[in-house]
Amino acid sequence: MKYFKMNGCGNDFVVLDARAAGALQLSPEQAQAIADRASGAGCDQVIALERSIRGDVFMRIWNADGGEVSACGNAARCVGWILMEEGASKSGVKIETRAGLLHASAAPGGGIAVDMGSPLLKWEEVPISRPMDTTAIDLTIDAGLVTIAKPAACNMGNPHVTFFVEAVESLPARLLGKRVQANEALFPEGVNVGFAEIKGPDRMRLRVYERGAGLTKACGTGACAAVVNACRRGLVDRSVAVEVDGGELLIEWGADDRVRMTGPVALERMGDLPKIPRRDE
C-alpha cells in the first residue's frame, strides 16, 4: 500500500492511501509497528485516507502507541496538501474525522490552513470527571523542585489542558506530562498536556506531551487549545503565533468562535508498505 511520510512543523505522520481498498483494519500492534522509529516507517501518528460520503476524504488516526484518536490538526493540513496536489481546489477541501468535518485550504507562502471548528469548553465536554471551572481546573502537579497548577482545559477534537509557566525550556516537560496523563481519575479519556510561555499578546512558546505519542515537535490541536485557553484567561489576543519545537503555527480564534490554524507542511518521502487487511476481511 502506498504511503506518504510527511510532517507539519515537525509533527510527523505516515499517511496510508486506502481509498481504493476501503477502511483499514489496523490492530494496535500494527499501528505501533508502522510508527516504530527503529524498525518501522517512524512517526508520531499513523493516518489512513479512506473514502467519505460527507467530505473529500475520511482521515483515520492512530497514535504511536496504537490507540485510535478523533482529530489531528497538523495531519489534516498534510492530508489537505495531498488532496490539493492531486488536483482538488486550493480554496478548500473537506476532511471527515471522528470529531467532525475539517476544512483545509492553501495559504500564502505555501502553507496550509485548516478550520478546526469551535472549541468545547464545558467540563463534561473536555471531558473531566467532575464539575469545575475549565479556565483554571483544580489540579496541582509536584515534581520535586517544580510545581505547576491550575491549568485551563478545552477540547479541540481531543482533550487538552494547558499550564501557563514562566519558562518552558527549563521545565521537565516529559516528566510533568506523564504525571498529568497518569491522573485517570480526573481525565477519563486521557488528556494532552501543554506547557505555554506567554511572550506577548500575539506570541507564545509551547511544548505538548501527547496521549499515546509523548513529547512531540508540534501538536496542532494542542496549539489551538493553548491559544483558546490563554485567550480565556486574558493572556493573549485572538491571533497568536505559536512557537513549537518544529517551527511556528499561526492560530486565530475568530469572532465566529471557529479556530483556524496555518503553518508549513513537508513531504519527506513516499514508499510502499506490505498489504494491510481491510476491516471486512
2-116+265-272 against 140-257: fold identical: yes
Type and span of the H or E element at 73 = helix 73-85
**Whether 116 contacts 261, CB under 8 Å:** yes
Q: What is the pLDDT of residue 276?
A: 60
pLDDT tens string 155-165: 999 999 999 99
Cα(130)–Cα(171) distance, integer angstroms:
28
Cα(178)–Cα(162) distance, integer angstroms:
14
pLDDT tens string 120-172: 999 999 999 999 999 999 999 987 778 999 999 999 999 999 999 999 999 99
CA angle 255, 120, 126 (to 5 degrees): 155
Cα(59)–Cα(167) distance, integer angstroms:
35
Strand partners, 152: 162
Cα(177)–Cα(101) distance, integer angstroms:
29
Cα dihedral across residues 149, 155, 156, 157: positive or negative: positive
Phi/psi-derived region of residue 65, left when phi > 0, alpha when psi is between -120 and 50, beta in every other case: alpha
Give the start-to-end residue ranges of the domains of the chain: 2-116+265-272, 140-257
Mean pLDDT for the stretch of residues 178-205: 96
> What is the chain's mean pLDDT, rounded?
93
> Which of the following is catalytic: 72, 78, 154, 224?
72
pLDDT tens string 33-62: 999 999 888 999 999 999 999 999 999 999
Type and span of the H or E element at 261 = strand 259-263
Give catalytic status of residue 224 as yes or no. Answer: no
pLDDT tens string 245-260: 999 999 999 999 999 9
**Whether 46 contacts 26, CB under 8 Å:** yes
Exposed, middle or buried by CB within 10 Å (0-12, 13-18, 19+), for 29?
Answer: exposed
User: Which residues in 86-97 are b (16+ Cβ under 10 Å) and which e?
Assistant: eebebeebbbbb
State the pLDDT confidence band at 24, using cuts at 50, 70 and 90: confident
Side-chain-side CA neighbours of 147 within 13 Å: the count stands at: 4
Helix (H/G/I), strand (E/B), else coil: 74? helix
Q: What amino acid occupies position 176?
A: L
Q: What is the pTM of this model?
A: 0.91
Q: What is the pLDDT of residue 281?
A: 43
Q: 2-116+265-272 sits in which CATH class?
A: alpha beta
**Whether 225 contacts 160, CB under 8 Å:** yes
Superfamily grouping for domain 140-257: Diaminopimelate Epimerase; Chain A, domain 1 (3.10.310.10)
**Whether 258 contacts 239, CB under 8 Å:** no
pLDDT tens string 77-98: 999 999 999 998 878 999 999 9
> Which of the following is catalytic: 43, 78, 219, 224?
219
Give catalytic status of residue 78 as yes or no. Answer: no
Which of 112, 108, 58 shows the shortest CA–CA distance to 84? 112
